[in-house]
Amino acid sequence: MSDISSLVKQFSFSKILKTDPQTKSIVLLGTIDSKDAIVSLEKSHFLNESVENINSLIHDLQIINHNDIYYWSLTSLNQKLPEIPGAKLNIIYPATETHIRKYGEQKYHYVLETPEMYTKYVIPYIDTMKGDRIKWVYNILFEGKEAETFIHHDEDKTNGFVLLPDMKWDKINLESLYLCAIVKRMDISSVRDLNESHVEYLTNIKSQILKVTTEKYPINKDELRIFIHYQPSYYHFHLHIVNVKHPGLGDGIAVGKAILLDDVIENLKILGDYYQKRTIGYLLGENHGLWQDTGYRNAHLNAN
């Protein structure tokens, strides 16, 4: 706690990178000790217990308008940690140019990525995004970083994985439950690398995730959604697990970003090299490193 408090106090604001009215969040760019830093703030979702006595939850009311049976106003909320948090705060420090582009406002394009585009442009890009760029992933998998938060840790180098809370979850509100499973094996960068030989592997991971999660939390298997991102945020295979009621995922669960794990498994059963042969459609922001590649961008524009 003391470390992040110190970082917040040192944060010097430069500009707003992005605001999102759906997720009630804002992302700020600034500096800490002359190095770029990103601070994101997201307003907390209401806990059921916190609204049982509304008069203790709110203070100060300012009327906006009134019409017949309808009233609307502004209000302030009473807040207390950890029971009634006002917001969740994340810091990335030092932040790289890749982070700044990722979290900034940007225009999106619908891309149809052919297998040829993947081979020629995406594979070389993936190679540049490994090593030190995902050192934090290796810290989790092999150095015990964040071990105190692990929900499950299977150390088998081929079939094992770590299941832990995603940094997007406040670990308080079950309705916004968000977990991440990061696999131990190093040979899968994205869904493009999956084939028929991985069907049993993926099925087993799914089974373990559902078993462990429902034993850890009061939630049923059919209240969980497991999915994969393409393009992913980082190129070491991982899965996202969320409560189906999650209210604020933004584009993280949208068509053109998320692929359900069950769909991946079924596709591989139908055609073993499905993800090597098919053209994949997805949304890509102009700040993404792939879009910055003139060759990739021209290949997309010429194909449409």
112 among the known binding-site residues? no
238 among the known binding-site residues? yes
233 among the known binding-site residues? yes
227 among the known binding-site residues? no
59 among the known binding-site residues? no
Amino acid 133 reads R
Show the DSSP H helices in 121-175 as ranges.
123-128, 135-142
56 among the known binding-site residues? no
Say how many residues make up the chain: 304
168 among the known binding-site residues? yes
The secondary element (H helix, E strand) that includes residue 124 is: helix 123-128
What torsion do the CA atoms of 165, 170, 175, 176 make, to the nearest 10 degrees? Answer: -70
What's the alpha-carbon Rg for the chain, to the nearest Å?
21
60 among the known binding-site residues? no
Cα separation, 45 vs 54, in Å, equals 15
200 among the known binding-site residues? no
Residues with Cβ within 8 Å of 193's Cβ and at least 6 positions away in sequence, in order, are 187, 237, 275
DSSP assignment of 191-231: GGG--GGGHHHHHHHHHHHHHHHHHHSS--GGGEEEEEESS
Closest alpha carbon to 30 in 20, 21, 41, 22: 41
166 among the known binding-site residues? yes
Residues taking part in catalysis: 238
Residues with Cβ within 8 Å of 62's Cβ and at least 6 positions away in sequence, in order, are 73, 74, 75
282 among the known binding-site residues? no
47 among the known binding-site residues? no
Output the known binding site for substrate: 136, 146, 166, 168, 229-240
Output the known binding site: 136, 146, 166, 168, 229-240
